[in-house]
Amino acid sequence: MAEVTKEAEQPQLKRVIGPGLLLLFVVGDIIGTGVYALTGTVAGRIGGALWLPFLLAFAVAFVTAFSYLELVGKYPRAAGAALYTHKAFGIQFLTFMVAFTVMSSGITSASSAAQAFGNTYLRELMGDSLVVPTVWIALGFMVLLAGINFRGVAESLWANVVLTIIELTGLLIIIVVGFYAVASGQGEPSRLTEIDTASQAPWLAISSATALAFFAMVGFEDSVNMAEECREPSRIFPKAMLLGMGIAAAIYVLVAVTSSLLVPADELAEAKSGALLKVLTAGAPGFPLWVFALIGLLAVINSALINMLMASRLVYGMANERIIPKVFGTVHPFRRTPWASILFTTAIAMVLVATVDITVLGGTTSLLLLIVFTVVNVAVLVLRRDPVEHKHFRAPTALPVVGAITCAFLASPLSGRPAREYGIAAILLGVGLLLWGVNQLVLRRDRARR
């Protein structure tokens, strides 16, 4: 009885997210690090047809989003994919691994943003005056994000509003510059249909690039983990998520077309996370690069902030479901934020920032999420046997089937993924397996004390 009273006194997360904030959350998450930091890497895999993998990645993500919309409507709580897995299959080990996988994907995404922050945009902005090693800048960046996250979700989301508007402005600059340059006679339209076949078949180039580009289209996964901080989540999620994905997809395709028209794919690939700076230089040589560098800096900050919000809320949700020790569900009595899960996820991110390259982080993030999305698409069909009393969105049955097949293919070696991405994923999942064992010991000890 004392335990029940203690849990009843545990403060709840504050519901501050309305439809407008949720829409900007989805858009801001999708158009962050993916386009600002990985455009060059995707170009290196596909060639001049850079727009194609982004369009295909959007199609796969859009299909999977319908499964998430049905599930978040039925179960409007934090924890997202892990919660749905737990309800569908009831296997705690599988639930734990899915939770750990999603958490890892958010942290690897935030870590790649941290590296782009220190290694590309901050260096472009400050030039030779920046003498601090990139890794220390990235680590300090993660500490700053943790402070904003702890301060409160309302503050974090209003920061997201401002940063989303800024990063949208940066991408509109790229699009406008591109159209102006093409109208002035610049650009090479023939590049838009070029697919790199130097070392692989065309379908492998397309699928490999699509598998990486999928990294850019995963904002909807982050958003469902904020369900407990949304007002009327069953009502506002469908419109906000689908509209947000549509806006982001249109921007991605336009930026990709502009990039291919103005800069050859091999030069974009060589520039890596600085590819958009290369595009701007080609289309508007007189444009002050420091302005765009500042915008890019704020864009990756926004992406990292959203991903760390998601990761900490997922850990909080799993603690409430008793899948991990309940200490990770501790909410600060005054700030009403999950401070224990914020510390935990920040510590893991700092390790990744210091040890793993940004390209591997992006590909591994995509791989981990595609595995999770495969499970979620199956779970939505299984959970049709579990009706709920309230009204909610229902996906057409064919979409989860198509989503499961396409996500499984893009996660498999058949898609042409580099072997190193599977290696990093295996290490992360191995860590998850170790944590599962530790968690079981903690839970067994807690049961013995009762």
* Interval 65-84: pLDDT, tens: 999 889 988 887 766 787 88
What digits encode the pLDDT tens for the residues 192-202?
A: 999 977 767 88
Burial level of 330, CB count in 10 A (0-12/13-18/19+)? middle
Selecting from 1.10.3720.10, 1.10.357.10, 1.10.150.120, 1.20.1740.10, what CATH number does the domain 15-449 have?
Answer: 1.20.1740.10
Cβ atoms of 32 and 302 within 8 Å: the answer is yes
User: Which 8-state DSSP code applies to residue 263?
Assistant: S
Distance (Å, whole) CA 347 – CA 66: 33
Distance (Å, whole) CA 43 – CA 213: 10
Q: Domains of the chain: which residue ranges?
A: 15-449
What pLDDT score does 438 carry? 75
What digits encode the pLDDT tens for the residues 231-248?
A: 777 788 888 888 988 998
Assign 77 to helix, strand or coil.
coil
User: Where do runs of H (alpha helix) occur along 263-386?
Assistant: 265-271, 275-283, 289-320, 339-355, 358-382
What pLDDT score does 153 carry? 60
Mean pLDDT of the chain: 82
With 70 as the cut, is the pLDDT of residue 219 above it? no
Assign 20 to helix, strand or coil.
helix
- Write down how long the chain is: 450
Where residue 133 falls (left for φ over 0; alpha for ψ -120 to 50; beta otherwise) is beta
Burial level of 323, CB count in 10 A (0-12/13-18/19+)? buried
What pLDDT score does 429 carry? 84
With 50 as the cut, is the pLDDT of residue 209 above it? yes
What pLDDT score does 6 carry? 42
Distance (Å, whole) CA 447 – CA 450: 5
Question: How close are the terminal C-alpha atoms of the chain, in Å?
Answer: 11
Residue 24: pLDDT band (50, 70, 90) is confident
What digits encode the pLDDT tens for the residues 157-188?
A: 677 678 888 888 999 999 999 999 999 989 89
